[in-house]
Amino acid sequence: MVSGLLVAVFVAAFSFEFINGFHDTANAIATTVYTRALPVRAAILMSATMNFVGALTSEKVAMTIATGLVSVQLGLHVILAALLGAVAWDLFTWWRSIPSSSSHALIGSLIGATIVFTGGTEHVMWEGVLRKVVIPLFTSPLIGMALGFCIMRVVFEAFANWKPHNANALFHKAQIFSSAFMAYSHGNNDAQKTMGIITLALVGSGLADPAAGVPLWVKLFCATTMALGTSIGGQRIMRTVGDGVTRLEPVLGFVSETSSAIAIECMTALGAPVSTTQVITTSIMGAGSARRVSSVRWGVARKIVSAWFVTLPATMLLGGTCAFVLELFLG
């Protein structure tokens, strides 16, 4: 039987995934829109389609969330608290137009809620958190930046004798494919966080078998909700990622999307939830600095980087607070 608390978890999960849509999924198409490789509506449709495909491809990241972070069966109110904490953080950073990580907001909030629920830290699988969250948190942006820089240098050498107009025309078309790859990799990693949380709630309610993986309807639910969020609110974050870090041209958009997609796919293969926001931003920075270091707006970049370090501790506090309040009301 479906309880009222489980329904509340579904509603909170819907809200988180919707906000994730206009907070994170926008990054998959930001460079394409700002270089005018695709109009906004076409880019959103393409992104939604590729997110669907990506979301149905793998379950490694979802199972990391569902089984690899905490070693205790959580009550539904704890899962609800984790979602509420992540939603609060995402709304705040969206309002401030800061491309922080929805992924790490959810994980930090889940850890904080678990600590309050259990009264200690022993049920947090810290080794798994370190391997699957903390290390990828720092390495994936660095990989994105390094790939962006290196691929951009290769492109400069390969197309050095091309006329700028012809090169721009080529990469203008090529960027459609690179943004599709980026959207696919986003679905293959980022769309799975909420899948993992919903699966965690279903298993805790006795409505799903953890050995069976993520139910198909959960995958479709998350992919659809994320696409809807992208279509409604994504342009605020697009402005910061798309043109706030450096001036974008088709070649830079192609390189940054390709390098970030490669970095994300590497992390997905390891089952590590990473932030599309972080990786696409640092890929743009790497590609932009390969052209000219001064072309990167490092002031904007510093604002983004500072949010990365704050997200985990801030959301642990938010998740813990939400769990404490819910326990008071629910007894």
* Per-residue pLDDT tens over the stretch 204-222: 888 877 777 788 888 888 8
- pLDDT at site 2: 61
> Closest Cα partner for 113 from 101, 102, 129, 124?
124
- pLDDT at site 99: 63
Q: CB atoms < 10 A from the CB of 153, how many?
A: 15
CA 221 to chain centre: 17
Q: Which residues of the chain have pLDDT under 70?
A: 1-2, 22-28, 97, 99, 230-248, 294-298, 300-301, 303-304, 331
**What distance in Å separates the CA atoms of residue 141 and residue 56, rounded to the nearest whole number?**
25
**What distance in Å separates the CA atoms of residue 98 and residue 303, rounded to the nearest whole number?**
8
**What distance in Å separates the CA atoms of residue 246 and residue 279, rounded to the nearest whole number?**
15
- pLDDT at site 264: 95
Q: Give domain limits for the chain.
A: 4-330
**pTM, 2 dp:** 0.85
* Per-residue pLDDT tens over the stretch 51-104: 888 888 888 898 888 888 998 888 899 999 999 999 899 888 877 767 677 888
Q: For residue 246, which phi and psi values (nearest 5 degrees)?
A: -160, 165
Q: What is the DSSP string of 212-229?
A: G-S-HHHHHHHHHHHHHH
> Closest Cα partner for 227 from 11, 21, 14?
21
Q: Using CB atoms within 10 A of its CB, is residue 42 exposed (0-12), middle (13-18) or buried (19+)?
A: middle
> What is the token pair recorded at 31?
């460079």
